[in-house]
Each structure stands twice: as structure tokens, then as C-alpha cells.
Amino acid sequence: MKLSPITEHNYPEVVNIYLEGIATGIATFETATPSWEVWDNSHHTFGRYVATDEKQVLAWAALSPTSKRHVYRGVAEVSVYVSSAARGNGVGTFLLQSLIQISEENDIWTLQSGIFPNNKASIHMHTQCGFRMIGYREKIAKRDGVWYDNVLMERRSRTINP
């Protein structure tokens, strides 16, 4: 597997994988994908990668700021999406471990993820990568008119001390 930056050029492949995640109903509250410009402006300029094999994009991961406030500059939200064909093969873990390293190189001291409680694979992957459950948000948002809960997971850097 190889890591490459997400760019406008490979963004259509990112969108296809994102759409697969949306279709599961347990990966995101979103029901549509954003334009490149919207996506690009809502994520950090670092920590945005696709994982590829010799033929195709298998997965993508990105970091986004959790707040515009300066005091939260070292806190980022993690997104990891794996294509249906590549799930269960360690691609997501590879990307998440890469994001952890990249985040620390960019002075991020806390990573967080909001995960649907029934997305057991994502919860397991995050736990294996050093995240811990810090909360449970009941009926935090609606998707298709239905309220859903969210598990909040966090990983504190072992090398960055805020």
C-alpha cells in the first residue's frame, strides 16, 4: 500500500468511497458528498491521504479542525473511509496509524472521532490505535429524519504536551 495526498485530481475516487460509506447508513450523518472546494476548505492542509495499491484507491483518511478558536488548534477530527472491496484487510488501520503520526508532526495533541454505536469495526479499529471512548451522545443528529446516537472517541498524543 502507498499513501498519496488527496488532491482535486483524485477527489472523484474519494467521493466514490465516501458514497459507499454513506450507503452503509453507519459511517456518517451526511447524505451527500461536498464539492472539492467545500471539502478542501473544511479539512487541514496536512493529514489528507488516499491509500492505493498498484491499481486503485482503496481508502482515504483526513483530519479536520474541530474549532476555529485558537485554544483548540491542536484538536482534530478524524475521518477514515475504506472502499467496500478493501474492508477487513487492515487498510483503515494503516491510514489511521499514518494520521496519528502526521498529526503529531503537525502539533495536534488530541484526535477525536464520532462513531455510530453499531459501527463495531470502526470502534474496534480506533481502540486498536489507542483511542478510548470518552462519551456517548444520545440523539446527537438526524439522518433521513431519524435521530441517532454517537460514540465519542479520543486519542491523546503521547509526544505532544499542550
Three-class SS string for 88-135? CCCHHHHHHHHHHHHHHHCCCCEEEEEECCCCHHHHHHHHHCCCEEEE
Residue 16 pLDDT: 97
73: domain range? 2-112
Is 148 inside a domain boundary? no
| Alpha helices, DSSP H, located in the chain | 11-24, 36-42, 91-105, 120-128
The answer to whether residue 27 is domain-embedded is yes
**Is 161 a member of any domain?**
no
pLDDT of residue 149: 96
Structural domain includes residue 125 = no
Supply the CATH number for residue 88's domain.
3.40.630.30
Residue 71 within a domain: yes
- pLDDT at residue 42, rounded to an integer: 97
Q: What is the pTM of this model?
A: 0.94
pLDDT, residue 19, reads 97
Residue 146 resides in a domain: no
**Is residue 126 a part of any domain in this protein?**
no
pLDDT, averaged in runs of 10, over the chain (162 residues): 95 97 94 96 97 93 96 97 94 97 97 96 97 96 93 94 72
Count of domains for the chain: 1
Q: What is the dihedral of CA 110, 117, 63, 70, to 10 degrees?
A: -50
Could you give the CA distance from residue 117 to residue 7 in angstroms, rounded to a whole number? 31
Residue 145 lies in a domain: no
Residue 61 CB neighbour total at 10 angstroms: 26
pLDDT score of 162: 67
